Chain A
């Protein structure tokens, strides 16, 4: 049956459908809907840069204005992906520059972006507005200078946690005097000093600036000058929040914070000194987001601050907050949705702070909207996890990292299977889960049985046998990303569940029990899968079929095997590889 609507009507209707998932679904309904979506699509998200090629993208979507691409796998954040693995933006930008002169937004994550790429962006796209580089590397402040001077209508420059070759702070002064369009600037990851007077001038002439995150090099005394020039800020990240305690500086700071009536989010606070914390008290009641994860403060100081933030929805903090501080959080912040507790001494053999499972239990009891948790600690019990699971059935993301691998329930000395089992059983909306502690195949049985909405699972030092992996691959219907390290999972489970891998974005397995032979078999079985064997020690050619691979990275792709691999990456042969040309 053919719809009688003219294309323009459908296109108009589609313009209200915003999420990528929904637009993708729309395109699958029928050929004409596919066509209309294709011609009118403005934004595309590519979760794995090697799953598709620039040419496939350009041919299908001629009118793109915004592109988001991810490169390296998540474990690259923890140095598990060797330098030079890939994720290069260069081939993309060269193709995009030719195809989309009116491109406005680029959001890249874990990609290698060179100064040349940034120069191409600055030169080519006349209406370029948004550049977000999350955990990227390969560029220097020279590239930033090109962006600053070349992009006349720049609205957003966000360098989230990228590794920048920080040659000098002069790049900031390259924003021309007539640049007044900035709405968001995040330079928190940069180390060198930028000219504060240039910064003040830039901030002062951009009336729409809503988000400003400074780097550590900006001293505390200069904050009032910046804040007063940006009274409409909604998000602010300080620089180094320390210095000699002076009452004149303090009162200027109080005044400056108070003048920002719309401030809802604070971050930065490097080297925070307790004496200056009260400067933010006047605005605490409006705060919804607080990132204190770079502030080594005592629990009492943190508690005093948090106790004044009744509207807090997100808190990132160090474990110095201790159980007592988390109790204060639980009593004071009833709207809390997200909590991240980072380790202040991750490599220390002993606990340096009193942060245990009790802190997380308190928060789960007091904060009934809690749905996202990242918690680093040194001890846990099944009972605690059970309690947390029952208190927070709305949990969406649960990541627990017990610092010492294989740590059992410290009271019963049992594995934590039962506890994590309770999490997946009670939290039916769970989309992301990271496991730690002593775990047997049993926990994976529970995960496969209950975690039907789970999209991403991270496993480390867990399980006993292939059965564990089999449970996950055969049971988790919504699984998209699976990353495993140092666990005894091997060939059998992989090969039996080979087809599952094509329904997922990617699988990472390092220091497991996967043999080279199995990798080859897997590749031959699955034409639309690229199976990469990463081994820095020796080439797979010299290895026996039964030899275990160091790292395996398998992902679905319609672009066939990539050709930019370094010496230590081998792509398993796949004569039937499907490549869309």
Chain B
């Protein structure tokens, strides 16, 4: 085909794409990593041209450069690569990327569980889930009864939670979203121990 003599004028070594931190010298390893792209010498790092679209790079990173695994020294801030991982935009939006796992303790149970508060959109749902999780206990569900100040009896558990300030509160006083924001952990207290908590005016 005669391809080789046509490209002999091109210094392939210089145009070889390899990876490494800026300024790193060539390494002697199995794969030829560490040689900086010759191209990036001429690269205009201004990515703000009218034609370019949403490149989320650190300005000093320039092109899609990566930290070489195992490189010594502090790693550069992880630049987000365009189009990687290959997930379509419609999928990125559809899934919540936060989760709010809190520990759930039940008085008398030997182990704790974890619940993701983001999965629920109301107290009703949360309490139903907790009932499922700890299926042997009956959880006092204020919302079914509609009475906040019912006297508790010994076999029921009252859901309480520790908030951001470290205080133990009764579940259900604040709007759901505020609760999710501020809840750090949940404790299902034995009904008989909650005497005194219910005395609001």
Stretch from B95-103, B145-153, B154-162, B164-172 contacting the other chain: B95-103
B135, chain A: closest CB distance, angstroms: 13
B12, chain A: closest CB distance, angstroms: 7
Q: Is the CB of B1 within 8 A of A344?
A: no
Residues of B within 8 A of A521 (CB): 6-7
A302, chain B: closest CB distance, angstroms: 12
Residues of A within 8 A of B39 (CB): 547-548
Stretch from A238-246, A383-391, A552-560 contacting the other chain: A238-246
Stretch from B123-131, B179-187, B188-196 contacting the other chain: B123-131
Q: Nearest chain-A residue to B118 (Cβ)? A: A296
Residues of B within 8 A of A518 (CB): 7, 10
Q: Nearest chain-A residue to B83 (Cβ)? A: A78
Residues of B within 8 A of A512 (CB): 17
Asked if A418 CB lies within 8 Å of chain B CBs, one says no
Q: Is the CB of A536 within 8 A of B15?
A: no
Contact with B along A340-353 (1 / 0, CB 8 A): 00111111110010
Q: Is the CB of A499 within 8 A of B1?
A: yes
Contact with A along B39-59 (1 / 0, CB 8 A): 100111001010111100000
Asked if B26 CB lies within 8 Å of chain A CBs, one says no
Q: Is the CB of A273 within 8 A of B92?
A: no
Residues of B within 8 A of A39 (CB): none
Interface centre among B7, B69, B88, B120 (most CB of A within 10 A): B7
A180, chain B: closest CB distance, angstroms: 31
Q: Is the CB of B12 within 8 A of A492?
A: yes
Contact with B along A138-167 (1 / 0, CB 8 A): 000000000000000000000001000000
Residues of A within 8 A of B30 (CB): 440
Give Cα distance in the complex from A405 to B12, angstroms. Answer: 24
Q: Nearest chain-B residue to A488 (Cβ)? A: B17
Q: Is the CB of B88 within 8 A of A244?
A: no
Q: Could you tell me the dominant secondary structure of chain B's interface residues?
A: loop
Residues of B within 8 A of A311 (CB): none
Contact with A along B94-137 (1 / 0, CB 8 A): 11110100000000000000001011111011001100000000
Stretch from A199-207, A228-236, A460-468 contacting the other chain: A460-468
Q: Is the CB of B92 within 8 A of A346?
A: yes
Residues of A within 8 A of B89 (CB): 79
B113, chain A: closest CB distance, angstroms: 11
Q: Nearest chain-A residue to B92 (Cβ)? A: A346
Asked if A82 CB lies within 8 Å of chain B CBs, one says yes
Give Cα distance in the complex from A446 to B130, angstroms. Answer: 53
Q: Is the CB of A486 within 8 A of B12?
A: no
Residues of B within 8 A of A517 (CB): 7, 10
Give Cα distance in the complex from A440 to B97, angstroms. Answer: 33
Residues of B within 8 A of A270 (CB): 94
Given contacts A244-B121, A566-B51, contact A77 B15 (CB under 8 A): no
Q: Is the CB of B53 within 8 A of A79?
A: yes
Asked if B24 CB lies within 8 Å of chain A CBs, one says no
Residues of B within 8 A of A538 (CB): 44
Residues of A within 8 A of B78 (CB): 349
- In this complex, how many residues of chain B approach chain A with their Cβ under 8 Å: the count is 63
Given contacts A78-B83, A79-B54, contact A344 B97 (CB under 8 A): yes
Q: Is the CB of B4 within 8 A of A490?
A: no
Q: Which of B1-36 contact A (CB under 8 A)?
A: 1, 3-4, 6-7, 10-12, 14-19, 30-32
Q: Is the CB of B7 within 8 A of A491?
A: yes
- In this complex, how many residues of chain A approach chain B with their Cβ under 8 Å: the count is 78
Residues of A within 8 A of B198 (CB): none
Residues of A within 8 A of B53 (CB): 79, 82-83, 536
Asked if B76 CB lies within 8 Å of chain A CBs, one says no
Q: Is the CB of B15 within 8 A of A293?
A: no
Q: Nearest chain-B residue to A461 (Cβ)? A: B66
Residues of A within 8 A of B124 (CB): 244-245
Asked if B84 CB lies within 8 Å of chain A CBs, one says yes
Asked if A52 CB lies within 8 Å of chain B CBs, one says no
Query: Contact partner of A536 among B12, B52, B118, CB < 8 A?
Result: B52
Query: Contact partner of A275 among B4, B17, B125, CB < 8 A?
Result: B125
Asked if B90 CB lies within 8 Å of chain A CBs, one says yes
Q: Nearest chain-A residue to B88 (Cβ)? A: A77
Give Cα distance in the complex from A344 to B92, angstroms. Answer: 8
Asked if B73 CB lies within 8 Å of chain A CBs, one says no
Q: Is the CB of A342 within 8 A of B87?
A: yes
Q: Nearest chain-A residue to B99 (Cβ)? A: A352
Q: Which of A465-498 contact B (CB under 8 A)?
A: 465-466, 485-488, 490-492, 495-496, 498
Query: Contact partner of B64 among A342, A343, A486, CB < 8 A?
Result: A486
Residues of B within 8 A of A515 (CB): 10, 15
Q: Is the CB of B128 within 8 A of A243?
A: no
Given contacts A346-B87, A536-B52, A538-B44, contact A548 B69 (CB under 8 A): no
A413, chain B: closest CB distance, angstroms: 9
Give Cα distance in the complex from A555 to B156, angstroms. Answer: 71
Q: Which of A366-400 contact B (CB under 8 A)?
A: 376
Residues of B within 8 A of A78 (CB): 82-84, 86-88
Q: Nearest chain-B residue to A544 (Cβ)? A: B42
Asked if B63 CB lies within 8 Å of chain A CBs, one says yes
Asked if A423 CB lies within 8 Å of chain B CBs, one says no
Interface centre among B14, B80, B95, B97 (most CB of A within 10 A): B95
Residues of B within 8 A of A274 (CB): 119, 129
Query: Contact partner of B32 among A77, A297, A438, A464, CB < 8 A?
Result: A464
Give A residues with C-beta under 8 Å from B: 75, 77-80, 82-84, 161, 189, 216, 242-245, 270-271, 273-275, 293-294, 296-298, 318, 342-349, 352, 376, 401, 403, 405-408, 438, 440, 460-461, 464-466, 485-488, 490-492, 495-496, 498-499, 511-513, 515, 517-518, 521, 536-538, 544-548, 566-568
- A-B pairs with lowest CB-CB distance, top 8: A78-B83, A548-B39, A495-B3, A488-B17, A513-B17, A496-B3, A536-B51, A536-B52
Give B residues with C-beta under 8 Å from A: 1, 3-4, 6-7, 10-12, 14-19, 30-32, 37-39, 42-44, 47, 49, 51-54, 63-64, 66, 68-69, 78, 80-92, 94-97, 99, 116, 118-122, 124-125, 128-129
21 A–B contacts from the bound complex (CB under 8 Å): A79-B82, A80-B82, A245-B124, A273-B121, A296-B99, A342-B87, A376-B87, A405-B81, A406-B69, A465-B16, A488-B32, A490-B12, A492-B3, A495-B1, A496-B4, A513-B16, A513-B37, A538-B44, A547-B39, A548-B37, A548-B39
